[in-house]
Amino acid sequence: MSTKERILDASLQLFNEQGERKVTTNHIAAHLAISPGNLYYHFKNKQAIIFALFERYESRVLDILQVPEERALQPLDKLRYLQDIFTGLWDYRFMHRDMEHLLLADAELHARYRAFFRLCLNQVQQIFRGLNAAGIIRISEDDIASLALNTWIVVTSWFSFLRCNLLSADVDAISPELLRGGIYQVFTLERPYLTDEYREAMNQLQQQFVPRPQWLETEESAEESAEKEQRG
């Protein structure tokens, strides 16, 4: 693996573990046991590292959202899309913990993100068109545009929703399990458009991701839940 790729891998690990704001280029260099000068040979500053990590993330997401040309979409394709997207959210969670800050700090990154959004929105619309053509959903072209945008909003805002409701400074407060609860919400958005033929199959897929609603419990209900688990 090249030094440049090692820098990106180490930066992603440290940003995820500690939060991007707490990690400096000196921390990254020390983690890799290389000199700061060696790091600066590949990246002029931390913003350049973040931009390169975003490019990695962008490529990964756009690859996930490809629609197969040789066959019709199936229910399990929708499951794969969502699982892979939410795995990507977890793997690059430092971005979604603090996306607004990152974009405000770098105009070039902001422009790249807006272009990425447009590409993703187009791909999500293509997926819904594919599901419609396969008879899994029945939806108008106007509703496809709205559903695609609402899906984007739920997916990209889910991390923020969890953070605001858990309200913890601990970067480990959000687990992969909590994050995957967002998959359930995306399935819910599509429920009104499901055809009778596929409704049961899609509902069964959705039930795999029923969220554990810690963020909705009062202190009293949380204590009651804990007591029930102990008694059970």
Question: Can you give the pLDDT at residue 134?
Answer: 96
| Shared domain check, 223 and 121 | yes
| Shared domain check, 53 and 39 | no
| Shared domain check, 62 and 12 | no
For the domain that residue 132 is a member of, what is the CATH number?
1.10.357.10
What pLDDT digit, counting tens, does each position of 10-64 carry?
A: 999 999 999 999 999 999 999 999 999 999 999 999 999 999 999 999 999 999 9
Helix/strand/coil for 140:
coil
| Shared domain check, 119 and 88 | yes
Whether residue 110 contacts residue 103, with contact meaning beta carbons closer than 8 Å, is answered with: yes
Instruction: Please give the single-letter amino acid code of residue 112.
Output: R
Residues lower than pLDDT 50 in the chain = 218-219, 222
Task: Report the domain count for the chain.
Answer: 2
* Token reading at 78: 């929708």
Whether residue 75 contacts residue 156, with contact meaning beta carbons closer than 8 Å, is answered with: no
Q: What are the two backbone dihedrals, phi and then psi, of residue 194, each rounded to the nearest 5 degrees? A: -65, 140
| Shared domain check, 73 and 146 | yes
Residue 194's DSSP bridge partners are 137
Nearest Cα neighbor of 18 from 27, 7, 5 is 27
Q: How far apart are CA 94 and CA 14, in angstroms?
A: 9
Whether residue 40 contacts residue 25, with contact meaning beta carbons closer than 8 Å, is answered with: yes
pTM of the model: 0.87
The mean pLDDT of the chain is 90
Helix/strand/coil for 137:
strand
For the domain that residue 16 is a member of, what is the CATH number?
1.10.10.60
Question: Can you give the pLDDT at residue 170?
Answer: 65
| Shared domain check, 186 and 218 | yes
Question: Can you give the pLDDT at residue 153?
Answer: 95
Instruction: Please give the single-letter amino acid code of residue 83.
Output: Q
| Shared domain check, 55 and 21 | no
